[in-house]
Amino acid sequence: MLQFSITTLGCKVNQYESRSVATKLTRLGLKEANSSEKADLLVINTCCITTTAMRKSRHAIRRAIKRSPDAFVFVMGCYSDYDQQKILQLINDAGIETHHVRIAAHHGNPAAQLDQIISEVQKDPDALGESVISVQQVGNIRCGNNVAGESLQSKETSISTDIKDNRLRTIKDKIPGTQLFGTVDKFKKRQRAFVKIQDGCDAFCSYCIVPFMRPRVWSRTVEDILGECETLVAAGHREIVLCGVFLGAFSRETALRNKWQDEPSALPGLIRAVADIKGLWRVRLSSLEPGDVTDELLDIFANCPTVAPHLHLPLQSGSDEILKRMNRQYSVDDFRRTVKAIRSVIDRPAITTDIIVGFPGESDEDFAATCDLARFAGFSKIHAFPFSPIQPTAAWAWRSEIPPANMVRDRRKTLATIEAELAGAYRSQFVGETLEAIVESPSASGSMRKAMTDRYMTIEFNDSGTNDLTGKIVHFKITQTNESSLLGTLE
C-alpha cells in the first residue's frame, strides 16, 4: 500500500488544510505513514508569516526528503506562493528530480494539482515522468533567487511586482485557491478539531504578508460547515475550533470594515448553530478583532454554555500611533471598550493575545503603552514576537527604523515577565474549584497527564492508568498552580 506523510507549519487554517489533504488521500486508499516509516508521497504545508517561519519551512522540506529520499514531493501553503524558485532549488539540491516535485500555490488550483499527483502516483509510483507538471506557473516568482548581474534594488522591485501581480491575477480571474479542498472527517491524535469557515484577507496590515499569499476572501456555506462539524463530533471530537484567516469576514466579500455598510454579521448565527450540535462539549473561536465582538456575539457567549469563554484578541500594540502605522482597524480605546464589554457579560473570560515587539518606529513610550494595556486587559496568555520585515509589505520599507536588537530582546523579556504575572493571577482564581476539561493524548514521557479547560488552561494530573481517559470530559478538583498550568485531582 502506498504511504504518505504530512508535515504542517503555521496556523490553524494550515492544520485544517493538511487534514483535508490527509482525508482525501486516505479515502483514495493511501495510508498515512508514522514518524519512523518512509513515505511514497511527502506533503509539506508551509508558512511564511515571518522569516523564521520561512526558515522552518525550508528545514521541514529538507528533513522530510532526508527521511524519504525517493518520494514524490508536494509543497503547499503560503511559502509555496512566496518563494517557489527557492523551494524548487533546495529540493533539487537534496537529490529529488524536478519532475518528482509539485509546488502548489494558493494563487492557482492546489486541489487540482493534488488530484493530478494522486493519479500519477497510483498509476505507477516508480515512473513519475515528464507528464507531471513540476510547478504551478502563476507568474515569474523570483523571490530569493538573485539572477546574475541583477542589483539588489532591481531584485527587490521584481519580487514586489511579481507577488502583487500574482495576487491581482487571482482576484481578476477568480482563481479557486483553496476552495476546492475537501472536508475533514477526523483529526488524527487530536481531541479538538479545527474547522475552517473562511479564507483570504484584504485588510493589508502593513506588517502582514498573508493577504498577498492567501486566496481572495471567501466563506463556506453554513450547511457545509455544520455537516462537517457533525461528522467530526460523530468521530469522537468533543470540541470544535472555528478558524479562518479573518474570522470576522465570515459571509462577507471583504475584510475591510468600512465596506460592510452596517450589514449584520452571520458569524453569531453560525456559532449558535454549531453550539446546538448534539454531543459537542465546546465550540471555540480561533481569533477575533474588537470590531467582531458585537452585542449579539456577547449574548451568545453569555447564554450558550457550549461556547468556550475564551477570546483570542490580537492586540499587536497598545500605542495608537503604532496601530495606525500597522493599518489595524481599531484604536486603543476600541480595544479597552471591547475588554470591558467582554468582562461585563462573561464570568472570568480567558482573553489571550498576540503582540509585535520592535515594530518600526516603536518608542519607549509606545512600548510602555502596550505594557499598560496588557495589564488592563489582564491577558491569560501573551504571544509576544519580534517584528519581521517581509517584502513586499508596506512595513518592509521602514525596516531601517526597527529598534536595536538588544532593545527588542529586553522588551520581550519585559512582556514575558508581565505575562507570567497576569497568567499566574488568572490561574490562581480557580484553585479550590472543580473544573471540566478534555483529556489530551498521553505523553511519551512522564506520568503526568494533561487536560484542556474551556478557558484554555492546561490541567496536569496523575493518572493511575486504570481507565482510558483520552478524549473524555472529566471533572478535576484544582489544588494548586505551577508556572504554566493548573494542578488537579480526578473527581
pLDDT digits (tens, 9 = 90+) for 368-385: 999 999 999 999 999 999
pLDDT at residue 168 in the model? 77
Is it true that domain 434-490 has CATH number 2.40.50.140?
Answer: yes
What residues pair up with 77 in beta bridges, in sequence order? 46
Instruction: Out of 148-152, 178-182, 371-375, give the one with best mean pLDDT.
Output: 371-375
Q: What is the DSSP letter of 398?
A: G
Q: What is the DSSP letter of 257?
A: G
pLDDT at residue 157 in the model? 44
Confidence class for position 192, pLDDT limits 50, 70, 90: very high
| Measured CA distances, 401 to 49, 360, 435 (Å) | 20, 5, 47
Q: Residue 151: pLDDT above 80?
A: no
Q: Which three cell numbers stand for residue 359?
A: 515594530
What residues pair up with 4 in beta bridges, in sequence order? 32, 41
Q: Going by DSSP bridges, is the β-strand pair 434-439/448-453 parallel, antiparallel, or unpaired? A: antiparallel
Q: Residue 136: pLDDT above 50?
A: no
Q: Which three cell numbers stand for residue 321?
A: 500611533
Longest dimension (CA), the chain: 71
pLDDT at residue 339 in the model? 98
Confidence class for position 468, pLDDT limits 50, 70, 90: confident
Confidence class for position 125, pLDDT limits 50, 70, 90: low
Cα(197)–Cα(118) distance, rounded to whole angstroms?
Answer: 26
pLDDT at residue 446 in the model? 66
Contact 239, 283 (CB under 8 A): yes
Q: Residue 149: pLDDT above 50?
A: no
Contact 401, 154 (CB under 8 A): no
Confidence class for position 163, pLDDT limits 50, 70, 90: confident
Higher pLDDT, 413 or 105: 413
Contact 203, 211 (CB under 8 A): yes
Report helix, strand or coil for 407. helix
Higher pLDDT, 153 or 75: 75
Least confident window among 252-256, 393-397, 438-442: 438-442
Confidence class for position 161, pLDDT limits 50, 70, 90: low
For residues 87, 20, 114 and 72, what is the CA-based torsion angle, rounded to 10 degrees?
Answer: 60
**What mean pLDDT comes out for the span 175-179?**
70
Domain ranges of the chain: 3-173, 183-308, 313-429, 434-490
Report helix, strand or coil for 191. coil
Contact 364, 408 (CB under 8 A): no
pLDDT at residue 178 in the model? 73
Cα(74)–Cα(77) distance, rounded to whole angstroms?
Answer: 10
Confidence class for position 132, pLDDT limits 50, 70, 90: very low
**What mean pLDDT comes out for the span 480-491?**
95
Q: Residue 139: pLDDT above 60?
A: no
Confidence class for position 298, pLDDT limits 50, 70, 90: very high
Report helix, strand or coil for 94. coil
Report helix, strand or coil for 325. helix
Q: Residue 148: pLDDT above 50?
A: no
Least confident window among 63-72, 233-242, 417-426, 459-468: 459-468
pLDDT at residue 176 in the model? 66
Contact 159, 209 (CB under 8 A): no
CATH of domain 183-308: 3.30.750.210
Cα(87)–Cα(142) distance, rounded to whole angstroms?
Answer: 11
Total Cβ atoms within 10 A of residue 450: 17
pLDDT at residue 466 in the model? 59
Q: Going by DSSP bridges, is the β-strand pair 350-357/381-386 parallel, antiparallel, or unpaired? A: parallel
**What mean pLDDT comes out for the span 45-67?**
95
Cα(403)–Cα(394) distance, rounded to whole angstroms?
Answer: 17
Q: Cα angle at 186 between 183 and 188, to 5 degrees?
A: 130
Report helix, strand or coil for 251. coil
Report helix, strand or coil for 417. helix
Exposure letters 110-137 (e unless 16+ CB within 10 A, then b)? bbebbebbbebbeeeeeebeeebeebbe
pLDDT at residue 150 in the model? 38
Cα(116)–Cα(118) distance, rounded to whole angstroms?
Answer: 5
Confidence class for position 108, pLDDT limits 50, 70, 90: confident
Q: Residue 324: pLDDT above 70?
A: yes
Helix (H), strand (E) at residue 64: helix 51-67
| Residue for grid cell 515528464 | 130
pLDDT at residue 461 in the model? 95
pLDDT at residue 126 in the model? 55
Packing angle of the helix pair 267-275, 222-234 (nearest 10 deg): 30
Least confident window among 122-136, 232-246, 260-274, 434-448: 122-136
Q: Which fold has domain 313-429?
A: Transcription Regulator spoIIAA (3.30.750)
At 95, give phi and psi (nearest 5°).
100, 5
Per-chain mean pLDDT for the chain: 89
pLDDT at residue 124 in the model? 60
**Would 183-308 and 313-429 be classified into the same CATH topology?**
yes
Q: Cα angle at 79 between 75 and 81, to 5 degrees?
A: 85
| Measured CA distances, 247 to 16, 325, 352 (Å) | 14, 22, 16
pLDDT at residue 172 in the model? 73
Task: Say how many Å lie between the first and final Cα of the chain, rounded.
Answer: 45
The architecture (CATH level 2) of 3-173 comes to: 3-Layer(aba) Sandwich (3.40)
Cα(471)–Cα(237) distance, rounded to whole angstroms?
Answer: 7
